[in-house]
Amino acid sequence: MTAALRNANNITVRHFMNTEQHHIHTPLTDEAARSLRAGDEVRITGVIYTARDAAHKKLWELLDAGLPLPFDLTGQIIYYTGPTPAPPGRPIGSCGPTTSYRMDKYTPRLLENGLRGVIGKGRRGQEVIDALKKHTGVYFAAEGGCGALLANYVTSCQVVAFPELGTEAVHRLEVADFPVSVFCDCTGGIYSPYL
C-alpha cells in the first residue's frame, strides 16, 4: 500500500507500508535504476566505491584538469563512508554512512560523468534530485549507526586512490547483499517515513 502526495516543489513524496525488495548487481544499469522506486528495499552485490568530502574534492579537481579519474564512473555506486581499519581476519572495520548533503555540490557533475548511484544518509538538495532524474541515478540510504553490522556485507576492501587521505581514501569494496533503501529514485520520487 502506498500513499503519495506532491510537495511544494512538485516532487512526489511517498510513504510505503509495503515495499518491493530488489537484488541488484553492479555496475548499475539504466534498466535496473528505472526499476527502483522510492521506499524499495535493495540488496547490492558487486563492486562499490567509497568517497567522502575530501575524495570528492579531488575527483572534482581531476575533472577540472581534464585528467582521468582513478576508476571509471560508468554505472558505479559511490558509498559515502570512511571505513575504520580492519580488525584481524576481517576485510574492513566499521563502515557506516556519513551525511550526504556535504556531497551535494559534487554529485550532479559525477552523475553527468556516468555515476549511477550513491549511498549515504539524510536528505539531498533539489539540484541532486534533479540530476538523479536527468541522469537516471538513484540515491540509496544505508542505516546510520550500524557501521559494524554493515561491515559484515563487505567481502573485500582495497584502497584505489588518494591513500594520503587515510580513511577518506577511495576504497574499492566488494559487497554481497549489502542492505540499502531507495531514498530518491530516478523519477524524482522521495521516500519519507514521516508523512
pLDDT in the model for residue 19: 64
pLDDT in the model for residue 144: 84
Q: Spell out the residues 6+ positions from residue 28 whose beta carbon is closer than 8 angstroms to its own.
A: 75, 76, 77, 116, 117, 138
Beta bridge partner(s), residue 16: 2
**Distances from the Cα of 31 to the Cα of 34, 104, 129, angstroms:** 5, 24, 19
pLDDT in the model for residue 20: 75
pTM here is 0.88
CA dihedral 119, 141, 88, 85 (to 10 degrees): 60
Spatial distance between the Cα atoms of 58 and 53, rounded to a whole number of angstroms: 9
pLDDT in the model for residue 3: 39
Q: Which of 170, 189, 146, 190 is nearest to 80 (CA)?
A: 170
Q: What is the mean pLDDT of each run of 10 residues along the chain (195 residues)?
A: 41 51 95 95 97 96 96 97 94 95 96 97 94 97 90 96 96 97 94 61
Q: Which fold has domain 33-186?
A: fumarase (3.20.130)
Spatial distance between the Cα atoms of 11 and 16, rounded to a whole number of angstroms: 16
Block residue for cell numbers 548499475: 28
Whether residue 183 contacts residue 141, with contact meaning beta carbons closer than 8 Å, is answered with yes
Q: Spell out the residues 6+ positions from residue 93 whose beta carbon is closer than 8 angstroms to its own.
A: 83, 84, 85, 86, 87, 151
Q: Give the containing element (helix H, strand E) for 75.
A: none
Whether residue 165 contacts residue 59, with contact meaning beta carbons closer than 8 Å, is answered with no
